[in-house]
Amino acid sequence: MTTTQAPDLLAQEFVAFAVEAGVLRFGEFKTKAGRLSPYFFNAGLFDDGAKLGRLAQFYAQRLVASGLQFDMIFGPAYKGITLAAALSIELARLGHNKPFAYNRKEAKDHGEGGTLVGAPVQGRVLIIDDVISAGTSVRESIALIKAAGATPCGVSIALDRQEKAVENGVESAKSAVQYVTEQLQMPVVAIAGLADLLAYLHSTSNPAVTAYAGAVQAYRDRYGV
């Protein structure tokens, strides 16, 4: 007897929201790995107060439900800066006030100086970003956090593409998220994944979106993990 896993309602709500906001788009897009993807997720398009606030709610709900314990939030430049601030505001609204910090791409040689901005980086630090493509940003963040004497304790992302990573032109058997989880020993909490996107495509009544279900499934069959 086979059992069907119930859909993740939070993930389904998030995918629907991302599509409606124009952040999750369908067509033909070239990824960093050089693949032609039938979908593209651009968190930079959560570009007004309403959309950013709703996004922060999804991050916060997923994190609270995960049970992951952390003392502060770190947002890697550049997208992570906005995400860290938004998540901090939403968590405070929910009664979990957490400080946040972020890094500059280049060190500042005047004023307070240095590369880190915001609250002192200390305790258990959660890294927040939109996606994990190759794990480079996560590794850099871990190095900065450890150099400050703190402990990186997990990563929160919006979308897990659940596809084989490519490093130095070589395709891996594992995804970037699996690499972070297994090699860097860091739990990754994603709001939704490619499997959730496929479930949405098969359940929505929007014909303009369901038309891409076959292409997304074929992409997952070819590159998925």
Active-site residue numbers?
108, 110
Q: Specify the pairing of strand 151-160 against strand 124-128.
A: parallel
Closest residue by Cα to residue 87 from 122, 52, 48: 52
- With the CA atoms of 121, 184, 177 and 81 taken in that order, what torsion angle do they form, in degrees rounded to the nearest 10? 10
Query: DSSP code of 23?
Result: S
Exposure of 103 in the CB half-sphere (CA atoms within 13 A): 21
Q: What are residue 40's phi and psi, to 5 degrees?
A: -145, 130
Q: How far is CA 198 from its chain centroid?
A: 18
